[in-house]
Amino acid sequence: MRWDYFTTGLAFIGIGATLMLAIPPPGWPKIPLPLVHILIVIGAVLTIIGAIVAVFGMWPVIPNPKPAILGMGISILLFGACAAWFWIIPESSFSPERPLRRLIAYGRLDLIVPWNGSSPQFHGYNVGVQNVSSDTITARVMFINVDVDGTKVMSSTASQPVIIPQTQGTIFQGRHNLTEDVPVSMDAKKITVEFEVDYDAIPESGIRRSYRKIAYPLNWANGKNSAPLLEPQTVDEWER
């Protein structure tokens, strides 16, 4: 047994393990990130060197076959390290995946319900998408669904992708498939619109999805001899 080699190896292992475990935040939160990476690499190198030196110190007393004993020892160390990683280190200690940055805003959302002199008529819906990023993007509307008191009057399918330059915008138009506008009952309470816009930067950085559900209550404040007031009310929205 070479005690000088063995104790030196254990010292290197202790120093290396301390560098790898104590330096990263929250241990030393004010250390610059590049320096943290450098010290972790140094700690890993010292740990490996220490393990090699310690094995040299134990080599004379290791029973034969020595390679088999050495392999079992390394396997036990790896198993212990992985078990500690799985059960002891909390999941919150790892940085969560950063969400994709939002790149669009809605410039105008137009519910087109003209008044024919006696009743409102549903014609369509416009979704104005504005590129508010410093990148050129592609966007398309996946669907636009419109219903009057739960009765569907329009359901459009996905549009073709449109390229939108920086600070520019585009309007996606949703129209029903009938030759004439759809009459809206004078007793109707509200018109509900929901749509989704999918978009990505150029070059690709990940598809974002933007959803809105908006209700337009029919307000007959001016009487039923004139067009109703349609003030939008957001029911649901999300960005993913």
Give residue for tokens 């669904």.
Answer: 145
Answer yes or no: do 225 and 173 share one domain.
yes
Contact of 194 with 212, CB cutoff 8 Å: yes
Residue finishing a domain among 37, 59, 93: 93
Between 5-19, 177-191, 198-212, the lowest mean confidence (pLDDT) is in 5-19
Which tokens belong to 91? 């999941």
117-155: b (≥16 Cβ within 10 Å) or e: eeebebebbebebbbebeeebbbbbeebbbebeeeebbe
Looking at the structure of the chain, the number of domains it has is: 2
Q: What is the CATH number of the domain that holds 235?
A: 2.60.40
Quickly list DSSP for 198-218.
EEEEES----EEEEEEEEEEE
Residue given tokens 């410093």 in the structure block: 134
Assigned domain for 111 exists: yes
Q: Kindly indicate the confidence band of residue 89, based on its pLDDT and cuts at 50, 70 and 90.
A: low
17-52, pLDDT tens digit by residue? 777 777 665 556 667 777 777 877 787 787 788 777
pLDDT bucket at 113, cuts 50 / 70 / 90: very high
What range does the domain containing 190 cover?
104-239
Residues 109 and 202 both lie in one domain: yes
In a domain, 176, yes or no: yes
- In this prediction, residues 197-210 reach a mean pLDDT of 93
pTM of the model: 0.60
Say yes or no: 87 and 116 in one domain: no
Domain end (from 93, 112, 137) = 93
- Sign of the CA dihedral running 181, 182, 187, 189: negative
